[in-house]
A and B are shown apart, each in its own frame.
Chain A
């Protein structure tokens, strides 16, 4: 009864025609170099996107002489640098091939899910919070600048509403991103819990 369908499916599986791939050592060396180049380009793309934000706020530093706006821009730039640093550190934490063999599939899978979960859970501290002081100071600086314009006092409510809505918009985006990430982290945690039970005898 060790039964026919499963045993026959083993035969079907093992006797399937497969194209044998042979990769020479020279090709493997080439592929390793190509892979490293791909990582380098990926990092460069991340640098380029950050450079764009840094250049924009660098331009504002030059454009707006008010110290408070300049200080806000410096804080935003510092926030971008912190996020880039965290992303690169996360990228470097990827598992080395030899480590893949030291870990069972369960352990490897669990660690990968944990890495993703922690990144999502901590999104507030490493992705959102670094921009909050800079954006707040920058908006405050802009608000002061606008209020110093002639006739600004005649339109106080309009100015207040505009800045209030901008600040509220930023808050909604930040909270939305945070909540989405927390939801995804909880989903991953459920998968991790399910994996944990597989490693133990019930």
Chain B
């Protein structure tokens, strides 16, 4: 019993060390309010620690961490959505919506990040999971493993994400146009 708890603690500490920053970024994609975001991050860490009590290596630690984190965060979004009844949209809808300006220059990183966050936070949970995984530079196979979406549909969604990003953000400054 004590041995399994030690293993659980070790796994959690390793995961928190390796993915702590990624979990922070993930939480930013799900919650805009700083106080509620802090609670969400803590909720993710708690679920992660508890989940490692049942870790059986059926998937990689990375997949495990992202699945738990995304599932906790998606539950948070659904819960908040019930309270606020804010309309969430899919990528296919976002792709057709006008961007509102001629595209943000990536050179203005802070502004671009704010705009990117707003864009992510209006997405439905599953599309949010795909775009956040994509931005974390996970490949299509890993995104499929974490989300359970078929490879073909992951490819379609990534294509849409690229379109949306291309329309709303473009190169500027030192990056050239």
A residues apposed to B, CB below 8 Å: 3-6, 8-10, 12-16, 18-23, 25, 28, 31-32, 35, 95-109, 112, 195, 197-202
Q: Among the interface residues B48, B71, B116, B161, which one has the most CB atoms of the partner chain A within 10 A?
A: B71
In the complex, residue of chain A having the shortest beta-carbon distance to the beta carbon of B169 = A5
Count the B residues whose beta carbon is within 8 Å of the partner chain — how many? 65
Known: A6-B165, A201-B150. A31 touches B42 (CB 8 A): yes
Selected contact of A20 from candidates B20, B112, B136, CB within 8 Å: B20
Known interface pairs A5-B165, A13-B136, A100-B68; 5 further A-B residue pairs with C-beta atoms within 8 A, sorted by A's residue number: A12-B116, A101-B51, A101-B64, A105-B74, A106-B148
Assess whether B24 is interfacial by the CB under 8 Å rule: yes
In the complex, residue of chain B having the shortest beta-carbon distance to the beta carbon of A4 = B171
Distance, CA A25 to CA B116, complexed state (A)? 34
Distance, CA A201 to CA B150, complexed state (A)? 6
Distance, CA A202 to CA B154, complexed state (A)? 12
Distance, CA A198 to CA B13, complexed state (A)? 34
**B55 and A98 within 8 A (CB):** yes
B residues apposed to A, CB below 8 Å: 9, 12-13, 16, 20-21, 24-25, 28, 38, 41-42, 45-55, 58-59, 63-64, 67-68, 70-72, 74-75, 78, 106, 109, 112-113, 116, 125-126, 129, 134-137, 145-153, 161-162, 165-166, 168-171, 175
**A105 and B129 within 8 A (CB):** yes
Selected contact of B165 from candidates A9, A102, A103, CB within 8 Å: A9
User: What are the 7 A-B residue pairs with the smallest beta carbon separation, nearest first?
Assistant: A104-B148, A98-B54, A106-B148, A18-B24, A97-B50, A97-B51, A13-B135
**Shortest distance in angstroms between A119's beta carbon and chain B's nearest beta carbon?**
13
Distance, CA A102 to CA B58, complexed state (A)? 8
**Shortest distance in angstroms between B11's beta carbon and chain A's nearest beta carbon?**
11
**B171 and A13 within 8 A (CB):** no
**Shortest distance in angstroms between B23's beta carbon and chain A's nearest beta carbon?**
8
**Shortest distance in angstroms between B93's beta carbon and chain A's nearest beta carbon?**
12
**B74 and A109 within 8 A (CB):** yes
Q: Among the interface residues B46, B47, B70, B166, which one has the most CB atoms of the partner chain A within 10 A?
A: B46
Q: Among the interface residues A6, A23, A101, A104, which one has the most CB atoms of the partner chain B within 10 A?
A: A101
Distance, CA A131 to CA B129, complexed state (A)? 42
**A105 and B67 within 8 A (CB):** yes
For B149, the chain A residues whose CB sits under 8 A away are 104, 106, 198-199
